[in-house]
Structure 1
Amino acid sequence: MQTILIVEDKKSMADMLTKTFQSEGFDVRTAYTIKDGINLLTSDLSAVVTDLRLPDGDGMEIVRTIKEGFPFIPVIVMTAYGSIETAVKAVKQGAYDFITKPFDPDHLLLIIKRAIGERTIEKENIILKKEFHKFLKMPEMIGVSRAWNEIMEKVKKVAPLKTTVLILGESGTGKELISRTIHHLSQRSKKPFVAVNCAAIPKDLIENEIFGHEKGAFTGAAEIKLGRFELADKGTIFLDEIGDMEMPLQSKLLRVLQENEFERVGGTRTIKIDTRIIAASNKNLEKEVAEGRFREDLFYRLNVFPIVIPPLRERGEDIIPLARYFVSQFCREMNKNEPLIPPEIESILLSHEWRGNVRELKNVIERAVILCDGAALLPEHFSFVMDVKEKINLDAASLHEVAESAARSAEKTRIENALRQTQGNKSRAAEILKVSYKTLLNKIKEYGIG
């Protein structure tokens, strides 16, 4: 239910507005002073209607407070002194609109509904621009193995609840896909799903990204920035690679889990939120706790409902269904006829190690579809098969071919070692390899590393 706060010192006016708003299905809170109005401000308010003349001061104080602390709550100001100067001042300081007493309550209702609609769209646009909403429909869950079916049963059981979920598994196994499915099947599915990769954001910026900052919090902070927890209010936040989060930030996250509140960077106002937390890691968090790199109390808070995703090599029954799905997907995207996957190719796919799991399989299939111009996929369309053939035929190759093959093999091995060393963190791997992040991504795709 949407909630409106009325700040009006005349009880008769406040009662009339309360009845008007309640008749339209709004929940209403009432304050008779600026102090009480500010105390009632919370992020779950849909709109605020305030008088400009109040017993303890100027109603503009409420406008400024909301503008600074709750920028997505629209404020409509009422006044019996309807001059152009007053209207301009109210709007300049952050009011959504201005109405002069006496007024038609239905007119005020129209203004409020329009304001709520516009602010909702504005917030959703911020989310979309940051690519928090990747899926506008149910993610497709492909798998036939017993292990995968057991995971799906767990997902169905926990999705309707607010329970915190911890998803564990190697890189590329589909942890974010599982988290999006939980969100889609929950009662929060129409609210934001906000994904945060804790390993990809520099450690000196991640607190700002997660919790946001106040205006003037640091040099260059010219305006309020909402953090991802606020953007995920009433929805779900997915904290990927939680094991890479620094210890000081772990303490702040623990408070969010315990109290559902936090402060923005540089702020003192407590922000209350209603956000479901799903966390994921490719690390053994119990080992991280034992070695002092992860808080034990945070681990137990996160580990309420664990879901462990086995690596692809341990659920071979899913490899061919996934390969067929990816072939169809990429053929649609590339506007190509869909090739067959012959038994020979199935055998090749089933015998591969898939250290990069589903992500590696997806990359390998994409490359194969690009190279395939016939009615069926062939061994030469798969880079790892060609790597083997290169090694087998070295004796018949020219010196240049030998050198080129050795260089490719060494380059691939070096990248794989760097990714293992950083436990899949591509930003850190790029630093170790002394190449740009984009160059590393291109190489990973070229070699089908995943």
Structure 2
Amino acid sequence: MLDATTKGLDARYFPLILDVLDQGVFTVDDNTCITSFNQSAERITGYTADEVIGTRCSEVFRTDHCSQVCPLRLSIASRRPSRNREILIRARDGHEVPISVSTAPLLTHGGKLLGGVEVFRDLTAIEDLKRRVDAQYRLSDIIGKSPAMRRIFDLLPLVAPSDSTVLVTGPSGTGKELIARTVHALSPRRKSPFVALNCAAIPETLLESELFGYKKGAFTDARKDKPGRIAAADGGTLFLDEIGDLPRLTQVKLLRFLQDRVYEPLGSNTSVRANVHVVAATNRDLLELVRAGSFREDLYFRLNVVQIEIPPLCQRVEDIPLLVNHYVRIFRESTGKTIQGFADDAMARLLGHPFPGNVRELENIVERAFILCQGDRIGVEHLPSSVLQSGTGTGASPVASSIAAAELG
């Protein structure tokens, strides 16, 4: 039991003890007005204690969480602590500072509420390190560290400056359009249009006019000239998705354009020249379509000058944690939730899932989990049944298990 002298000594030196800490610490009364502010809090925020004491903390930290889900106000209201919430605050000079926040209510021995205390840690150095690590595993918006993705990273800067046709292959949902956009972004054409056309989404009768355009009077409803996607992409990049679904007649006209860079709009006898870099994509086996007679062999070879093959996600399991962290950051910013990531067991389930829908399926899983999760970590209970049925702990492959152990510590 401490005697009165010792208690007085502790109280007298308490502010000095707080100033030794390298974490910011401040206290508020039950109206969230700041009552103390240590030296590390001054260093991180740029404000002095004299400037902020007596001011509401929301006026100092200026973050969206202050008016929405303020961790300190929640602790005071619920009389429960919260730990390690990551948020962005705005320092005195206006720049954003990432911090990790832990809060607790201040209560007397009798349970009377005095206010609250917040301890926060500057994450700037950690975030900088994360960005440097991320930079090793991403090119533009493409993310991955698997050998297959590293090969694509090495190939894209070589392909982008060329005008040669690129064929991107891979299962649905692997990000073929993202590859095409990256080729465009890395090319000298990046300031010119990127125009996409899904050959499977447009009826066969309309596809030719959509691609090449038409002249007034070309058909009954053609009351004025309309340029096609090729004209819209002039000077830039034309992305032809699902190229395997292109009708045979349109294949002939596209072949001529790829050979001579000229085309004729529907209803015109005059050739038009266009300066367009063509990137095509398909999830189908074009050689099999050639053998079946539904795809022209000469067009296949004209398209397949440079092929970029994207493997399914199940063949690059080591990319899953990187992609998960990427989507967590995106949805955290868009929803305002303070979710930090996936719990260990939930991540292990993801690593054991075959992902028939590939990256698109993974993005949907993270988005769904953000809707359901009300805490700081996404758990197994927030995963869809398709993942729970396939990603059992005992059913995960040895590769996935070793990756889970490495990623989750």
Deviations 1:17-58 (A, max 9, x none): xxxxxxxxxxxxxxxxxxxxxxxxxxxxxxxxxxxxxxxxxx
Matched residue, 1:230: 231
Matched residue, 2:174: 173
The amino acid of 1:203's aligned partner reads E
Give the Å deviation of 1:334: 1.4
What secondary structure does 2:350 align onto? helix
| Whole-Å separation in 2 of the counterparts to 1:332 and 1:292 | 49
5+ residue gaps, structure 2, are 1-138, 391-409
The amino acid of 1:365's aligned partner reads V
Matched residue, 2:405: none
What secondary structure does 1:239 align onto? strand
Report how many aligned residue pairs link the two structures. Answer: 252
Matched residue, 1:262: 263
What secondary structure does 2:307 align onto? strand
Give the Å deviation of 1:339: 2.8
**Structure ranking higher in helix proportion:** 1
Runs of 4+, deviation exceeding 4 Å: none
Alignment of 1:299-378 (within 5 A): 299-378=300-379
What secondary structure does 1:279 align onto? strand
The amino acid of 1:208's aligned partner reads S
Give the Å deviation of 1:388: 3.6
| Whole-Å separation in 2 of the counterparts to 1:204 and 1:252 | 14
Matched residue, 1:205: 206
The amino acid of 1:175's aligned partner reads K
Matched residue, 1:287: 288
The amino acid of 1:142's aligned partner reads I
The amino acid of 2:258's aligned partner reads L
Give the Å deviation of 1:384: 2.6
Deviations 1:170-222 (A, max 9, x none): 00111100010000000000000001110111111111111111111111211
| Whole-Å separation in 1 of the counterparts to 2:261 and 2:387 | 53
The amino acid of 2:229's aligned partner reads R
The amino acid of 1:251's aligned partner reads V
| Whole-Å separation in 1 of the counterparts to 2:327 and 2:245 | 30
Q: Is the 8 A contact 1:211 1:262 kept in 2?
A: yes
What secondary structure does 1:337 align onto? coil
Matched residue, 2:105: none
| Whole-Å separation in 2 of the counterparts to 1:251 and 1:385 | 43
Check if 1:249 corresponds to 2:265: no
Q: Is the 8 A contact 2:346 2:383 kept in 1?
A: no
What secondary structure does 2:143 align onto? coil
Q: Is the 8 A contact 2:353 2:387 kept in 1?
A: no
Give the Å deviation of 1:247: 0.7
| Whole-Å separation in 2 of the counterparts to 1:142 and 1:375 | 24
| Whole-Å separation in 2 of the counterparts to 1:191 and 1:368 | 38
Alignment RMSD, CA only?
1.4
**% identical equivalent positions:** 47
| Whole-Å separation in 2 of the counterparts to 1:386 and 1:232 | 41
Deviations 1:387-427 (A, max 9, x none): 649xxxxxxxxxxxxxxxxxxxxxxxxxxxxxxxxxxxxxx
Q: Is the 8 A contact 1:255 1:261 kept in 2?
A: yes
Q: Is the 8 A contact 1:169 1:175 kept in 2?
A: yes
Deviations 1:210-248 (A, max 9, x none): 111111111121111110000000100000010011111
The amino acid of 2:149's aligned partner reads W
What secondary structure does 1:205 align onto? helix
Alignment of 1:156-167 (within 5 A): 156-167=157-168
| Whole-Å separation in 2 of the counterparts to 1:160 and 1:272 | 21
What secondary structure does 1:217 align onto? coil
Give the Å deviation of 1:266: 1.1
Deviations 1:121-167 (A, max 9, x none): xxxxxxxxxxxxxxxxx841211111101011111111111111001
Give the Å deviation of 1:385: 5.2
| Whole-Å separation in 2 of the counterparts to 1:252 and 1:359 | 33
**Bigger Rg, structure 1 or 2:** 2
Matched residue, 2:384: 383
Matched residue, 1:142: 143
Closer/same/farther in 2, CA of residues 365 and 191 from structure 1, 3 Å limit:
same
Q: Is the 8 A contact 2:349 2:388 kept in 1?
A: no
Q: Is the 8 A contact 2:212 2:265 kept in 1?
A: yes
Q: Is the 8 A contact 1:165 1:307 kept in 2?
A: yes
The amino acid of 2:345's aligned partner reads E
Q: Is the 8 A contact 1:380 1:386 kept in 2?
A: no
Give the Å deviation of 1:386: 7.5
